[in-house]
C-alpha cells in the first residue's frame, strides 16, 4: 500500500492510478458494487437536496464528497456487527440495512424514520456531537463479555475530537481492549470552524498514541485504501486485539446542512480544488474504466436504475401517514415515568382547550 505526504495511506492517486498495493480479495463484481454504492449515495444526496428545497423533507445534512470514506469502511462489516452513525452518514447506513424510504421518513420527522431492516444493529443516527462514541464502546464491551465476535464501527467528524466523549471513549476502549473501530471523517470543517482551530496538532490519528492504540491516517477519497485500512482494523478487533483509530482525510463539498451557507466562511478555491481534483467518484471511476470494468453505458444504466428505486421509495415515504403528536410520548419507555405522563396530560388538556379533542387533529 502506498504512503504519500503526512503518512497518508493510499492505493489510488487523484487520477485513479495505482500507487500502492491493491486489495487482492476484492472481486471484479465487488469493485463494481463498491462504485455503484458510491454513485447511488451521491444520487440520493443530490435528490435529497432538491427535495429539501421543494419543502418535501426537512433539514438535511449532505454527504457529497464523503462517499468513499463511508462506503469503503462500512462495506467490511458483517450483518451482526454494530454501526454507530452521525447525521451525515447515510451512505454507510445504506450499506447496513437502511432503506431509502426509511431515510426519507427520517428527514420528514417520522417516528419510524431511520429504522433498519431486521437483523441489523444500526444505532439511531446521532445528532449530538460525539455522544455515540462512548455508546459504541459500551456495545463493543458487551460483545466482548458475551464473546459473540461482533465489532462496533463508530463514525464522527473532526469537530467531535474536541469533545470529552472522544477522549473518554478512546481511553476506556483501550483499557478494556474493546472490539471497536473509531472512524473519524476529517472533512476539514466543523460547520464554520476549520481544522486548525479544532486541534493544535494537525494529524488526528496521532491522538491514538496517547491512549495506547493504533492510529491510521488514510486518504478518505480513495475507496480501496479506506476498505483495506478498515478491514485490517475490524479483523484486529475481532481477534480480540482491541480498538483502532482511523482518520479518513476527506472533504465536505456541500453545506453543513441545508440551513448553512458555506460561502460565508469557506474559500472558493479550496472547494474547487477538492471538487475538481480529488472527487472520490471520479477517481474510482477512472480506475475501473482503465481496468475495463466500467463504461459510460453502465454509468447511465446504473443512474436510471437508481432513479426508479428512488422514485418508488419517495412515493412510499410520502404516502406514509404523518406522525401524530401522541407518538412523541410513545415508544420511548415501556413503563413511562410520572413526569412524562404528566406532560402527556398537559398537552392533551391544551389541545382540548383549543378544540382539538383527540391526538389526531
Active site residues: 252, 256, 265
Give the count of alpha carbons within 13 A of 158, CB side only: 30
CB 137 within 8 A of CB 173: yes
Sequence-distant (≥ 6) Cβ neighbours of residue 219 within 8 angstroms: 4, 8, 9, 10, 225, 226, 248, 249
C-alpha cell at 194: 476549520
Sequence-distant (≥ 6) Cβ neighbours of residue 12 within 8 angstroms: 18, 19, 20, 222, 224, 225, 283, 284, 287
Instruction: Identify the DSSP state of 92.
Output: H
Residue 337 backbone phi and psi in degrees, to 5: -70, 165
Question: What whole-number distance in Å separates Cα of residue 166 and Cα of residue 158?
Answer: 10
Give the count of alpha carbons within 13 A of 224, CB side only: 28
Question: What whole-number distance in Å separates Cα of residue 155 and Cα of residue 37?
Answer: 18
Q: Return the bridge partners of 248, or none.
A: 185, 218
Candidates 34, 239, 233, 65; CA nearest to 153 is 233
Angle, CA 282 vertex, CA 277 and CA 284 arms, to 5°: 120
Sequence-distant (≥ 6) Cβ neighbours of residue 122 within 8 angstroms: 83, 85, 93, 96, 97, 98, 116
Alpha-carbon distances of 197 from 204, 263, 308, 353, rounded to whole Å? 13, 18, 44, 51
Amino acid at each position: 500500500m502506498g504512503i504519500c505526504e503526512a503518512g497518508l495511506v493510499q492505493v489510488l492517486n487523484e487520477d485513479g492510478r495505482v500507487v500502492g498495493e491493491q486489495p487482492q480479495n476484492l472481486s471484479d463484481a465487488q469493485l463494481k458494487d463498491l462504485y455503484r454504492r458510491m454513485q447511488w449515495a451521491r444520487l440520493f444526496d443530490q435528490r435529497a437536496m432538491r427535495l429539501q428545497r421543494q419543502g418535501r423533507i426537512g433539514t438535511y445534512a449532505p454527504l457529497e464528497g464523503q462517499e468513499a470514506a463511508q462506503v469503503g469502511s462500512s462495506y467490511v462489516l458483517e450483518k451482526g456487527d454494530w454501526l454507530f452513525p452521525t447525521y451525515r452518514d447515510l451512505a454507510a447506513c445504506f450499506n447496513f440495512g437502511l432503506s431509502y424510504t426509511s431515510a426519507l421518513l427520517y428527514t420528514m420527522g417520522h417516528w419510524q424514520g431511520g429504522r433498519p431492516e431486521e437483523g441489523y444493529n444500526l444505532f439511531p443516527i446521532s445528532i449530538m456531537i460525539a455522544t455515540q462514541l462512548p455508546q459504541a464502546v459500551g456495545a463493543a464491551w458487551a460483545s466482548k463479555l458475551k464473546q459473540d465476535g461482533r465489532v462496533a464501527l463508530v463514525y464522527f467528524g473532526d469537530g467531535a475530537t474536541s469533545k470529552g466523549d472522544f477522549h473518554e471513549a478512546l481511553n476506556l476502549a483501550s483499557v478494556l481492549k474493546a472490539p471497536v473501530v473509531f472512524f473519524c471523517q476529517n472533512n476539514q470543517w466543523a460547520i464554520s470552524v476549520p481544522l486548525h482551530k479544532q486541534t493544535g496538532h494537525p494529524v488526528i490519528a496521532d491522538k491514538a498514541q496517547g491512549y495506547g492504540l493504533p492510529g491510521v491516517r488514510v486518504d478518505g477519497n480513495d475507496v480501496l485504501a479506506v476498505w483495506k485500512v478498515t478491514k485490517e482494523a475490524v479483523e484486529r478487533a475481532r481477534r480480540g486485539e482491541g480498538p483502532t483509530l482511523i482518520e479518513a482525510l476527506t472533504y465536505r463539498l456541500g453545506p453543513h446542512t441545508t440551513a448553512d451557507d458555506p460561502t460565508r466562511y469557506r474559500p472558493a478555491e479550496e472547494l474547487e480544488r477538492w471538487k475538481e481534483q480529488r472527487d472520490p467518484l471520479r477517481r474510482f471511476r477512472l480506475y475501473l474504466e482503465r481496468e475495463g470494468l466500467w463504461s459510460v453505458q453502465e454509468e447511465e444504466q446504473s443512474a436510471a436504475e437508481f432513479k426508479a428505486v428512488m422514485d418508488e421509495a419517495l412515493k412510499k415515504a410520502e404516502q406514509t401517514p404523518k406522525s401524530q403528536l401522541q407518538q412523541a410520548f410513545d415508544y420511548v419507555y415501556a413503563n413511562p415515568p410520572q413526569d412524562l405522563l404528566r406532560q402527556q396530560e398537559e398537552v392533551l388538556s391544551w389541545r382540548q382547550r383549543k378544540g382539538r379533542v383527540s391526538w389526531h387533529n
